[in-house]
Amino acid sequence: MPSLNGKTALVTGASRGMGRASALALAAAGAQVLVHYGRGAKEADGVVAEIRKAGGRADAIATDLATADGPGKLAKQARSIIGDRLDILVANAGISMLVKWPKTNEQGLWAITPNDLKSLVGRSERPRVAISYSRNYFGNSTK
């Protein structure tokens, strides 16, 4: 992975699994990492501690993204720590809801990314966005 010194990253759902692995990898490459979690405070604190022990910069932020005001709260918390610049967004948090999955194109991906997070990413010179998903969701896939 190239050097990410001076870059900021927000990883949603970073307390375990793929989110945890993403947060650790980004920190190892030099990024300041915001470790988001919904319910796993102890696990998120563990990820932050591991990053800091290795000499990295990390903070944990808690927000329930399944609520209507969750994305706005997350953006506000992120701004309070890193300001208005977000270079990397890994949208890994999982919620279950019964919806049709949009076609996988740029428009479809942005349709499921909350506006408050879009505004943070939009302020970066060259934002990087990674959206992970699982086929184990409650919904219908569009063709």
DSSP string, 77-117: HHHHHHTT---EEEE-------EEEPPSSHHHHHHTS-HHH
Assign 141 a pLDDT band (cuts: 50, 70, 90): very low
Q: Rounded to an integer, what distance in angstroms lies between the CA atom of residue 121 and that of residue 101? A: 22
Three-point CA angle 128, 115, 37, nearest 5°: 70
- pLDDT attached to residue 72: 87
Cα of 48 vs its chain's centroid, Å: 14
The answer, yes or no, to whether residue 21 has pLDDT greater than 60, is yes
CATH topology for the 8-133 domain: Rossmann fold (3.40.50)
Assign 99 a pLDDT band (cuts: 50, 70, 90): very low
The DSSP element (H or E) to which 42 belongs, if any, is helix 41-53
Note whether 89 and 10 are within 8 A (CB): yes
Lowest-confidence segment of 6-15, 22-31, 46-55, 100-109 by average pLDDT: 100-109
The pairing of strands 58-62 and 128-131 is unpaired
Domain ranges of the chain: 8-133
The answer, yes or no, to whether residue 1 has pLDDT greater than 60, is yes
Note whether 10 and 35 are within 8 A (CB): no
